Amino acid sequence: MASHPFRIVNVFTVNHGVLTGNPLCVFENADTFSSETMQGLARQFNLSETTFILPSTRAAARVRIFTPNYEMPFAGHPTLGTAHVCRALKLGGDSLDLEMQAGMIPVRAAGDRWTFTAPASSWRELEHAHSELAAALGLDVSDIGERPMWLKAGKEQLVVPLTSIDAVRRATPDPQRLNTIRSEDGHCMAYVFAFDGEHKALARFFFPQGTAILEDPATGSATANFGGWCLALKRTLPVELQISQGEFVGRPSHLFLQVSEQRRIFVGGDVLEIGRGSVSL
């Protein structure tokens, strides 16, 4: 059997708190792994995502991202956490590109705060009535804000503005009802948010696992889609927000969203390595 090293990092931490942010497992060298092995390891670690570093002729590394159930073309906290590990492995410095199924993703660091540039966003209107959406989220119709829609700045997700911070805290998704509202790739997931003043917001992200709906501590891809929502609604640019997420699952997280006057979307957060190990296969 061969030994395969991995690292555990927390992404979107709050003041570099050891038990804050969204945890990620990164395998340092997955060149010999089959897709089935990667999926099996992601299921073994049972984190929201596990990433695998592979050689690339075009970037610092090629990266594959797996949830316990399927492979993803792009995700936010895996991008930032993997970039942090790539720098530690001297595959790149404070400025590097990662090759993913969704394309080339530029990532930059200032210390341990990493920021990725999201792919150009696209959007489409939600085909379900607000009453259906509210029922799926366990909310009242009056809690649904301006123009919930499908956004894609790397991975399509449903972005749902709510009318108050209280509504964000009251959201209790119904698995069966939410299962009827599906993205282009057949997944039912929803990102809800409300503004908390001019430069802050509170957000939650719900996604399926089996017959249950789970909640993510911090979701960089959905934050990028939040930026796409700002563009779709023609909000005044630049947009700069600190987004709090994870308080309802005991993993407080801070994510930083910027939408520039040039309509580019940037998502950043602090990354902290907390452990290393290896598996024998």
Average pLDDT over residues 62-89: 96
pLDDT given for residue 210 in this prediction: 75
| pLDDT at residue number 17 | 96
Catalytic machinery residues: 49
Helices 76-88 and 220-232 cross at an angle (nearest 10°) of 130
- Does this model's pTM top 0.85? My answer is yes
pLDDT of res. 276 = 98
Is residue 147 left, alpha or beta, with left meaning phi > 0 and alpha meaning psi from -120 to 50? left
For the chain, percent of residues with pLDDT exceeding 70: 100
| Cα–Cα distance for residue pair 98/107, rounded to 1 Å | 7
CATH classification at residue 17:
3.10.310.10
pLDDT at 278: 98
Number of domains observed in the structure of the chain: 2
Q: How many residues does the chain have?
A: 281
> 221 is written with which tokens?
């891809």
pLDDT given for residue 1 in this prediction? 87
Considering the domain architecture, whether residues 77 and 138 belong to the same structural domain is answered as no
The answer on pLDDT for 208 being more than 90 is no
* Nearest-angstrom CA–CA distance, 49 and 38: 11
Is the same domain home to 93 and 177?
no
Range of the domain at 251: 122-263
- Look at residue 41 and tell me whether its pLDDT is greater than 80: yes
Do 102 and 126 lie in one domain? The reply is no
pLDDT of 74 > 80? The answer is yes
Residue 27 · residue 281 · CB < 8 Å? no
Q: Do 137 and 257 reside in the same domain of the chain?
A: yes
For the chain, the average pLDDT equals 96
For residue range 116-148, what is the model confidence (pLDDT) as tens digits? Answer: 999 999 999 999 999 999 999 999 999 999 999
Task: Identify whether residues 92 and 189 lie together within a single domain.
Answer: no
Pairing of strands 61-66, 95-100: parallel
Residues 91 and 14 occupy one common structural domain: yes
Confidence band, pLDDT 50/70/90 cuts, at residue 185 = confident
**273 in Cβ contact with 279 (< 8 Å):** no
The residue among 185 and 249 whose pLDDT is bigger is 249
Burial string for 99-138 (b: 16+ CB within 10 Å, else e) reads bbebeebbbbbeebebbbbbbebebeebebebeebbbbbe
Considering the domain architecture, whether residues 87 and 109 belong to the same structural domain is answered as yes
Looking at the fold, whether 239 and 273 belong to one and the same domain comes out as no
Mean pLDDT along residues 231-255:
97
